[in-house]
Chains A and B, each alone.
Chain A
Amino acid sequence: MIVKEWCMYCGECAGVCPRNLIEVRELTLKFTEEHCKECSLCIQVCPVKALEQE
């Protein structure tokens, strides 16, 4: 997952990830990529379009 520089770490993406793969730190976003099923829900809900599938 590509996290754009303008991500604000609000955590909305983490709340919808069905596999609970997104760790939202204060100023970093960490994905457990190996379990990602590429459902794109995290990308869809982001209020500032800060995520992009690689």
Chain B
Amino acid sequence: MVIKTDVLVIGAGPAGSTAAKHAASGGAKVLLMDKKSEIGAPKRCAEGVSNGGLESLGIEHNPRWITRELDGVRLIAPDGTNVWLTSDKVDLPEAGCILERKVFDKYMAMDAARAGAEIKIKTLATRMERNDEGFLVDAECMDEKFQIQAKIVIAADGPESRVARWAGLRTAVKPKDMESAAQFEMAGVQMENNKCIEFYFGSVAPGGYAWVFPKGDDIANVGLGILTTITDKSAYEHLLEFVKNCPATQNAQPVELNIGGDPVGGLPKKMATDNLMVVGDAAGQVNPLTGGGIISGMTGGMIAGKVAAEAIEENDFSEKKMKKYEKECRETIGDSINKYLKVKDYMMTLNDDELNSIADVFKDSDFEKVSTGELVKNLVKVSPKALIKLGKLF
């Protein structure tokens, strides 16, 4: 059996569903497939997003998928020095919220369905082959094996990024660019301010950071990401150590364990070829400093979906046409990804003592507003090393 479609989106994460929604709204016949039996579960995410990011995608807040509105950020140095960036201290704290990804991801897929996309769940893409009409994709749903003929494939298969590689793009991630992450969702978490997201820096999480993201008065995602190139312990082992020592989790109990990879090496050299675009984590569309990839992946998905609809209308699936996506993508999210890549590289050079002394200056600084960019600007002011490496960028 061969199913024919204009656009096949492989992977119904936030990036894929957004691509499917925009391609379908633009008039293309769209098929969105995911191997999971439940879109959005299990989550591989700490679930934090900025309100500005959702707004830029035209998505209105919905109580179905928001668990917590945030009031600020707390940074914790290795020696325990706190930097509080909350609304009582800062004029314009970065507004954000914590999602319930299991609901959010489904909601985004429902949006795609409402725009006209057909959805196949529990359906895995196993390989694909280029032909005159685009790609012929092998798929499996339980005991059924079939093929899908698509004029355009949008690869949205997350950090595995196998699909784009089937088309010859080089999207494999090196271990030094892949955060290995583990997280508990916990109850009984005693947060000093349960409307604040907390970041713990230093040797608690080599090559990354640990976080406590509140989802309720005493509920939080407690996790960390590490680089396995600089520690022998697994992310899970680091997590066990972290919750054993963190004051907030002394009486907390886990109700969920989440693990996963987060590609933090920046965008690959090529994100499009004839009849194919790659979006989201599969294309490294992640802020390399924070690991946040929901908004940037959805932005990539939105651009790809629009270009796909245009291409179908014009009957042009050439690499030249697909590159329109790549160009717009580099303009909207690529520049900032490149900048934060440099900040991440700089942060990696800091030892615990250096982090402590930066926190010591930061704790009494006046910030006008809090955003990742604003923090780096202040970092450049207090650290000569940061000034040399990042002064020109921020």
Using a CB–CB cutoff of 8 Å, the interface residues on chain A facing chain B are: 8, 10-12, 14-18, 20, 22-26, 41, 44-49
Q: Are A15 and B37 in contact (CB under 8 A)?
A: no
Please give, as numbers and ranges, the residues of chain A lying within 8 Å of B234 by CB-CB distance: 46-49
Q: Is B159 an interface residue when CB atoms closer than 8 A count as contact? A: yes
Given A12-B260, A25-B124, A26-B36, CB of A48 within 8 Å of CB of B172: no
The main secondary structure of chain A at its interface with chain B is loop
Query: B interface, by DSSP: helix, strand, loop or mixed?
Result: mixed
Sorting the interface of chain B by its residue count into under 10, 10 to 19, 20 to 34 or 35 or more gives: 20 to 34
Closest residue of chain B to A8 (Cβ to Cβ) is B259
B260 is contacted by which of A11, A16, A25, A41 (Cβ under 8 Å)? A11
* B235: Cβ under 8 A from any A Cβ: yes
- If A16-B173, A16-B175, A48-B259 touch, does A11 touch B122 (CB 8 Å cutoff)? no
CB of B68 within 8 Å of the partner chain: no
A-B contacts at CB below 8 angstroms, number: 80
Nearest-neighbor residue (CB-CB) of A18 within chain B: B172
Give chain B interface residues in 13-47, CB to chain A under 8 Å. Answer: 35-37, 42, 44
Q: Is B306 among interface residues, defined by CB-CB distance under 8 A?
A: no
Partner of B160, one of A11, A18, A47: A11
Give B14 Cβ to nearest chain A Cβ, in Å.
16
- The chain A residue with its CB closest to the CB of B38 is A26
Between-chain CB contacts (< 8 Å), 15 pairs: A8-B42, A8-B257, A10-B261, A12-B178, A12-B260, A14-B162, A15-B261, A17-B172, A25-B35, A26-B122, A45-B178, A47-B181, A47-B235, A47-B261, A48-B182
A27 closest partner in B (C-beta): B37
B116 at the binding interface (Cβ < 8 Å): no
> Which of B160, B172, B174, B180 is the most central at the interface, judged by chain A CB atoms within 10 Å of its CB?
B160
CA distance A40 to B362 in the complex (A): 41
